[in-house]
Structure 1
Amino acid sequence: MVTKIISVCLFGFMFFNIVHVSEMLLLGTSRKSGFYKAAVFEHAVIFPEKRASSYDEAVSQMFPNLDEYKRQADIAGTLGADIIVFPEDGIYGYLFATPSDIENYLEYIPDPAQVDWTPCTEHLRYERTKIQTFLSCLAKNNSIYLVANYGDKQPCQKTDPSCPKNGHFQYNTNIVFDRNGKLIARYHKQNLYFETQFNTPTTPEFIYFDTEFGRFGTFTCFDILFHDPAIPLIEKYNVTDIVFPTAWMDALPFFSAIGYHSSFALAYNVNFLSANLHYPEERFQGSGIYTPEGALAFYYNRSSPNGRLLVKEVPILNHNGNRYRTNMISFAETGIFKNYDFQGKVFWDTYNFVSLKSEKDNLIVCQGDLCCSLRMKRD
């Protein structure tokens, strides 16, 4: 298997307790031809005060978060948004250590490739579907595509040697509802990040859904660092847009949410809708709406306890067979180099650095023939 690697260095987002909200809301609900309207919500999750001892108790603990989802979805619907994305772990938080800790919070989520189901109008079809029904009705009532992250509880046969002792698998799951509230996509997160409450799927899933304004792929948080499922979605399944629920903890200098996610959009020529948790005490922040041309809107706030809704018109992409950008600058070919100021170890590797000495500057730093550029201005 050959993996294409495109080196794009856009990690020049060095935030020092900065608040930056870029064009959060568009006034009115009009839409330009060739665009769709996207919404992402960075959510300040409300954690359960104690572990629920039953499904009904768990539902009551999740509803404060769902009530906030409703407020934001209603606003997005009023503004004419076509799609809204909510973050990973936004319904119940991430403070679960074992499968039994989170089991009561989960529901069975059927495979929409096998089942035609609209929970909002068929809520009695399966047991334990209050959360899916609520989300389905949010999508239906606002005539909006809705992407949320929730936990799936899939039964398995005890004769299966990989089947857990409790008789079911538990997956970190993205679910998508269309404008009528129909469940149209279900993705199980492949690359877990110390998520001992969940199981890893046996094989990666490549999940996408088609809309009137593009083909959307979905994956979750840590998945973005791996070949599967992200790269096949782009190269094989020809998605034009990514919806990305995440619980992303910034780890500078490379894993700044805004820098990393906007770079993915640029490198792979896709629109990228990223919804993060807002929990700055633990470095969870940074959501945005990104295109191959840059960030249309983003929110990064380390000092406020509040999340934020971003709504923006996004260009509808048509690649016409041209997947990757062809206008990237090759610094090696142009002969543009600057000496580094010093070297340092980052994650056990040696890197070249330049100092940020000015209030405003355009900088380039190279190692061999790989160069990164930064256009910066201090707030």
Structure 2
Amino acid sequence: MMFVILLLTLLSHISQNAATFTEGDLQFTAAVYEYDVVLNWECMSSNGCSREDALLTVEENLVAYRRTAREAKELEADILLFPEDGLGGLAGDRKSLKSFAEPTLENGTNPCLLAQNGEIDVSSYYATIELSCLAREVGVYISANYPTSYDCQECNFEYCLYNTQVVFDPTGCIVTSYRKYNLWIGEDLTYNVDKQPQLKYFDTPFGRFGLATCADLLWESPVVEVVREMNIDTLLLPLYWGDFFPHQLSHSCESGWAQGLQVNLMAANIRSTSEWSSGSGLYHPDGKQNYIHKPLESSSVLVVEALDVHPAKMSTNWNQYANQHSQDYASWSDQEFTEIVYGDEFKFIPITVGQNKVKVCTDDNFLCCLADYQVDNLEDQFSLGVFSGLHSKDTVVRDSWYMEMCSVFKCDPKHSKHTCAQDLSYDYDFLSRSETVFTYLNISATFSDDTNVYPQVLFDNVELKPEFVNISPDGVLGISGTEMPGLISMSLFGRRYSMDSPIPEQFCPST
């Protein structure tokens, strides 16, 4: 009986209303949905649940998706991105996740029409069919993330499970799909990955789009490679990403990667107060954005913004200034101290009141961070920190990735365990608020020539304020301006991909 009801619901949404778009338009309207997902805790237990029970949860989430897609259509959106795990297929083991997984269909197929004609089984392809019909009804591109599976003999399992992003065009046809490669901690218990990361993109009348998912952002492949090799205009990034202080807050990374890669970036996150998960938006390569970040609130939000079809790009030589002027900056070794920050040993030098130029370098002087600034009153002690080396805290498929980091944030040598090791703190008020206002602050670093750099600046209430931020062509990240709010952190997040650990010959879920 339930599947009869679901089928009737499905067919009621079939429509031929497709949006039109003029090839010569210079901008398009993008929409992302930050969603407080409905979960079924019984399904997420180790005992799992039936496919029928899983679909009841999927349908609850699809109710919100339909409402949001219709709202996006009213706001004249051309493309809508939903978040990672947004249909409730979130689980700690393969048995519970399998109930949510669906087989994949070939690109160019129209699941909505196939269901209407009785050519595919509704219960097996329910989410795929519903999303296809929704795209067809509202006439916009829709990208959604949910588990997929097929029979295989890999890793001593009878089936493979993938974290999959599927894109539907305005007629309901599947345009392309992407299977996440760089899994996050916990996903190694459930998901398979391909032998190599996939480089997936699709063309529209309003530019070329590339696909990645959540933690993929931190790696060269697929993100940098799909930007570089496929010449995309906009990156689609569904994610389930909490606030990891001081350097890995979702909206800060989203903005920084849009600027570092010089592409538009569409990011849709899950909203979860228990995990400080929030941070979705639409980001331009020049720093402008429309975003939401409300990790302590539970309401879902639709964000809509006009983006350039082919965004203008700015070239930045991220080590030019620092290489030319490092000798002009003083280094006081008697004031330096070290602290573990998010698993890595940083070297710091305190920021002092007044106008100063300071420098801190790694022990081997391989990487030096420079700062010139003026601050009249330090409500909290800030320090300039540097780190260069392999980072292994966030890795699953590969063992480690290489980071070169230059950062200013609240870090007091007298209370370093509480203030510097921010990933261990649960004091969200301390982490997210600041009354320390710099008159100006500029940072730069002697990065390796092959390092990709992603600029990040967070102000009081961990807000992005691009109107106070400037990036010079010779690699200086600066903030200045009247009525500038207090600073939370300011970083040059460097990734030296050539030093990352290699891709394994075979990755297997570790259940």
TM-score, with length taken from structure 1: 0.81
User: Aligned pair 1:36/2:31, yes or no?
Assistant: no
Q: Give aligned-pair identity as a percent.
A: 27
2:200 to 204, 207, 224: 207
The aligned residue for residue 436 of structure 2 is 358
The aligned counterpart of 1:105 is 100
Given candidates 292, 317, 322, the residue that maps to 1:299 is 292
Higher relative contact order (CA 8 A, sep 6+): 1
Query: Which structure has greater helix proportion?
Result: 2
Q: What displacement does 1:207 show?
A: 0.6
d(CA) in 2 for partners of 1:110 and 1:120?
12
1:210 alignment partner, SS class: strand
Pair 1:377 & 2:485 matched: yes
CA deviations over 1:337-359 (Å, ceiling 9, x no partner): 68798654312221442556634
Retained in 2: the 8 A contact 1:338–1:366?
Answer: no
Higher-Rg structure is 2
Q: Which letter maps to 1:77? A: K
Output the CA distance in 2 between the equivalents of 1:171 and 1:100. 13
Would the aligned equivalents of 2:84 and 2:146 in 1 still touch at CA under 8 Å? yes
SS where residue 200 of structure 1 aligns?
A: coil
Residue equivalent to 1:9? none
Is 1:126 matched up with 2:120?
A: yes
Q: Is the counterpart of residue 273 in structure 1 residue 269 in structure 2?
A: no
Q: Which moved more, 1:343-352 or 1:258-267?
A: 343-352
Residue in 1 that maps onto 2:174:
183
Count of aligned pairs: 339
Q: CA deviation at 1:303?
A: 2.6
Shift of 1:378: 3.6
Counterpart in 1 of 2:51?
55
Cross-structure match for 1:259: 252
Q: Tell me the secondary structure at the aligned position of residue 301 of structure 1.
A: coil
Contact 1:151–1:172 (8 Å) recurs in 2: yes
Distance in 1 (CA, whole Å) between partners of 2:321 and 2:330 is: 10
The answer for the alignment partner of 2:86 in structure 1 is 90
Deviation by residue 1:321-372 (Cα, 9 ceiling, x = unmatched): xx76248795424778687986543122214425566346432345557865
* Runs of 4+ with deviation above 6 angstroms: 29-32, 338-342
Per the alignment, residue 75 of structure 1 pairs with 71
1:262-341 maps to which residues of 2 (within 5 A)? Answer: 262-317=255-310, 325-326=315-316, 330-332=320-322, 333=324
Matches of 1:260 and 1:218 in 2, distance apart? 16
Q: For the aligned residues, what is the CA RMSD?
A: 2.8
Q: Distance in 1 between matches of 2:330 and 2:109?
A: 58
One-letter code aligned to 1:210:
D
- Partners of 2:54 and 2:206 lie apart in 1 by 36
Contact 1:48 1:62 in 2 (8 A): no
Q: Secondary structure at the match of 1:228?
A: helix
> TM-score, normalising length from structure 2?
0.61
Q: How far is 1:193 from its partner?
A: 1.1
Gaps in structure 2 of 5+ consecutive residues: 1-19, 349-382, 384-407, 411-433, 448-474, 488-511
Code of the aligned partner of 1:377: P
The reply to whether residue 246 of structure 1 matches residue 236 of structure 2 is no
Distance in 1 of aligned mates of 2:42 and 2:87: 15
- 1:254-291 Cα distance to aligned partner (Å, 9 max, x none): 10111111111111110000000000221211111001
Q: What secondary structure is seen at the aligned counterpart in 1 of 2:55? A: helix
Pairwise CA distance, 1:111? 3.3
Are the counterparts in 1 of residues 83 and 238 from structure 2 also a CA contact under 8 Å?
Answer: yes
Matches for 1:93-172 after TM superposition, within 5 Å: 93-94=89-90, 96-112=91-107, 116-123=108-115, 124-127=118-121, 128-156=124-152, 158=153, 162=154, 164-165=156-157, 167-172=158-163
- Give CA deviations for 1:55-113 in whole Å, capped at 9, x if unaligned: 1221111111111111111100111100010100111153x12111111111101231x
**Cα distance, 1:317 vs. partner?**
1.1
Q: Distance in 2 between matches of 1:306 and 1:42?
A: 9
Give the equivalent residue in structure 2 for 1:220: 213
Q: 1:326 to 1:53 in 2, by over 3 A?
A: closer
Question: Would the aligned equivalents of 2:319 and 2:445 in 1 still touch at CA under 8 Å?
Answer: no
